[in-house]
Amino acid sequence: MFQRILIANRGEIALRVIRACRELGIESVAVFSEADRGAHYLKLADEAYCIGNAPASESYLQINRIISAAEIGNVQAIHPGYGFLAENAHFAEVCRSCNIEFIGPPHKAMEELGDKNSARRIAADAKVPTVPGSEGLITDDSSAAELANRIGYPVLIKATAGGGGKGMRVARNDISLKAGLKAAAQEAEKAFSNAGVYIEKYVERPRHVEVQVLADTHGNVVHLWERDCSLQRRHQKLVEESPAPNLPLSVRQEMCKAAVRLVKSAGYTNAGTCEFLVDKDHKFYFIELNARIQVEHPVSEEISGVDLIKEQIRVAAGEHLKLKQRNIKVNGAAVEVRINAEDPDNDFRPSPGRITDLRIPGGGGIRWDSHVHQDYVVGPYYDSMIGKLIVHRDTRADAFATMRRALAEMHVGGIKTTIPLLRRIFDDAAFNDGNVDTTYVERTF
Ligand code: ADP
């Protein structure tokens, strides 16, 4: 087992990994930018090194500086968290070539799956259903139009290097297709330095259901069931829950089996998530594999009793998975909300500033994963999530009642947050009935 691990991340997920290390008896080395200097969570690590200025491009994305910190800190492994370099195959390769284990999959699998279009091909080879669409990248407008007419409008133009909902455009006819291809390629080039786009059938009002998988380096793969993340705003998740409501067990089992098949055939190891869209007839289609721990991982931890970060570390150290599929049961129901420093009354613009007053809910069934505290200053540089509130109860109805109570207790003063929107969501009848799709929030709120 590793003696020391560096965490190449910040905020909530850095603290989550620090905590897992502490419980495993592993020393943790944190890194921070000038904007995060003095943050309280850094004091919980055994050591912390400054790696540059506030902009991520000058700190958390600086591979050289992170590797230098890892060498000074004398660590055997790096945990990348999510975001920043977490899905950067080059970073994984650099770590390993410096004899530092990257706590994640092999870089080759990351490369192949990180490109969404090539991931579609791998999925198809593993007999995992994908959304009907282009076989390769779009090269010219006329063949794109031909394809769009063949699969039928509406179609979705997607960036092959895409993430965070960027570089996506719905096209409902040849004219909007032509304009959309150009706009999506430009947006993708700007955001990911890769203008490659492809086309998928636009699934109308789908649910987003994803499967958590865990694979060791000895060929053992298990799944930890699914999470329903249909409640989104502009393709960004707001609420996640497990198990997925109103989805027959047989469908859930088929999806989980498909995810395991895909992971095996891709030679993937460590924790990962297979994302699927589910249509009204409960047909499911693979959309992408996320080669990292995800924001919403606590939901699966709560229902399965498995600590995913600890498992990631064990698997990266070469240990065999001790988990057996038949022993991984869905225990009760869990739900998570993301609390963002955003102003719901002003188009969800970031709302940085000092948290002048913070009241965290407590009591049975509640988990709060966050690095913030009273007087913490939310900066303008990084993503706006300030914490995750997670509830675990015996039934979905009980979990929702506890979440409603927790959101009523919660108070964050000094900045605007998404809490008022979340309260309304948990009062919504259709959501309580498990009757929503990925477009619901925008249509209803
Ligand atoms: P990203 O990596 O940018 O998050 P994804 O491929 O994971 O992009 O898709 C994000 C969200 O976009 C999905 O959860 C879903 O809401 C929507 N989406 C993606 N593909 C389709 C599709 N073919 N039809 C309808 N909605 C889609």
The answer to whether the CB of 10 falls within 8 A of the CB of 379 is no
Question: 114 in ligand 1 pocket by Cβ < 6 Å?
Answer: no
Ligand 1 and 20: CB distance under 6 A = no
In 9-84, where does DSSP find H-type helix? 11-24, 40-43, 63-72
418: DSSP letter = S
At 164 the pLDDT is 80
Tell me how far apart the alpha carbons of residues 265 and 222 are, in angstroms, rounded to a whole number: 14
Q: Ligand 1 in contact with 77 (CB < 6 A)?
A: no
CA of 231 to the centre of ligand 1 (A): 12
Take atom 22 of ligand 1 and give the residue whose Cα is closest. Answer: 202
Separation CA 70–CA 49 (nearest Å): 9
CA 29 to chain centroid: 23
Compute the distance between CA of residue 76 and CA of residue 53 in angstroms, rounded to an integer.
26
Per-position pLDDT tens, the chain of length 445: 999 999 999 999 999 999 999 999 999 999 999 999 999 999 999 999 999 999 999 999 999 999 999 999 999 999 999 999 999 999 999 999 999 999 999 999 999 999 999 999 999 999 999 999 998 999 999 999 999 999 999 999 999 998 888 889 999 999 999 999 999 999 999 999 999 999 999 999 999 999 999 999 999 999 999 999 999 998 899 999 999 999 999 999 999 999 999 999 999 999 999 999 999 999 999 999 999 999 999 999 999 999 999 999 999 999 999 999 999 999 999 999 999 999 999 999 999 999 999 999 999 999 999 999 999 999 999 999 999 999 999 999 999 999 999 999 999 999 999 999 999 999 999 999 999 999 999 999 8
Distance 285 CA to ligand 1 centre (A): 11
Cα(310) to centroid of ligand 1, in Å?
29
* Mutational test site, ligand 1, from 235, 239, 283, 292, max ligand atoms within 8 Å of CB: 235
State whether the beta carbon of 277 lies less than 6 angstroms from ligand 1: yes
Q: Which positions are annotated as active-site residues?
A: 292
CA of 165 to the centre of ligand 1 (A): 7
Ligand 1 pocket, residue 167 CB under 6 Å: no
Pocket test for ligand 1, best of 147, 227, 277, 294 (most atoms within 8 A of CB): 277
Query: What is the whole-number distance in angstroms between the Cα of residue 290 and the centre of ligand 1?
Result: 12
CA distance 4 to 70: 9
- Give pLDDT, residue 335: 99
The predicted pLDDT at position 206 comes to 98
Q: Which domains does the chain have, with CATH numbers?
A: 4-103 (3.40.50.20), 132-201 (3.30.1490.20), 207-444 (3.30.470.20)
From the CB of 165, is ligand 1 less than 6 Å away?
yes
| 156 C-beta closer than 6 A to ligand 1 | yes
Helices and strands in the chain, H and E counts: 15, 22
420 lines ligand 1 (CB under 6 A): no
Question: Between the CA atoms of 120, 123, 127 and 130, what dihedral angle is there, to the nearest 10 degrees?
Answer: -40
CA–CA dist 53, 334 (Å, integer): 38
> With contact defined as beta carbons under 8 Å apart, do 265 and 53 qualify?
no
Closest ligand 1 atom to 285 CA: 23
Out of 172, 287, 289, 436, mutate this one to test ligand 1's pocket (max ligand atoms within 8 Å of CB): namely 287
Nearest CA to ligand 1 atom 19: 287
pLDDT at 235: 87
Structure-derived torsion over alpha carbons of residues 82, 326, 399, 21, reported in degrees to the nearest 10: -40
216 Cα to the center of ligand 1, angstroms:
28
Following CA atoms 93, 97, 101, 107 in sequence, which dihedral angle do they give, to the nearest 10 degrees? 20
440 Cβ below 6 A of ligand 1: no
Query: Which residues have a Cβ under 8 Å from the Cβ of 271 and sit 6 or more positions away?
Result: 212, 213, 214, 292, 293, 297, 308, 311, 312, 315
**DSSP-derived secondary structure for 375-398:** TPEEPSSS--EEEEEEEEESSHHH
For 153, the token pair is 């409008």
Neighbour order of strands in the sheet with 27-32: 47-50, 27-32, 4-7, 77-79, 101-102
Buried b (16+ CB within 10 A) or exposed e, 382-402: bbbbbbbbbbbbeebebbbbb
| Short-list 295, 242, 289, CA closest to 265 | 289
pLDDT (0 to 100) of residue 370: 98
Q: How far is the CA of 412 from the CAs of 31, 153, 258, 370, in angstroms? A: 27, 44, 41, 13
User: Residue whose CA is closest, atom 15 of ligand 1?
Assistant: 235
**Torsion angle in degrees (nearest 10) through CA of 428, 445, 362, 305:** 80
Report residue 5: phi and psi, to 5°.
Answer: -130, 135
Tokens 């947006």: give the residue. 187
| Ligand 1 atom nearest residue 439's Cα | 16
Ligand 1 close to Cβ of residue 235 (< 6 A): yes
**Close Cβ partners of 303 (under 8 Å, ≥ 6 residues apart):** 224, 225, 242, 243, 330, 331, 332, 333, 334, 392
Per-residue model confidence (pLDDT) at position 411: 98
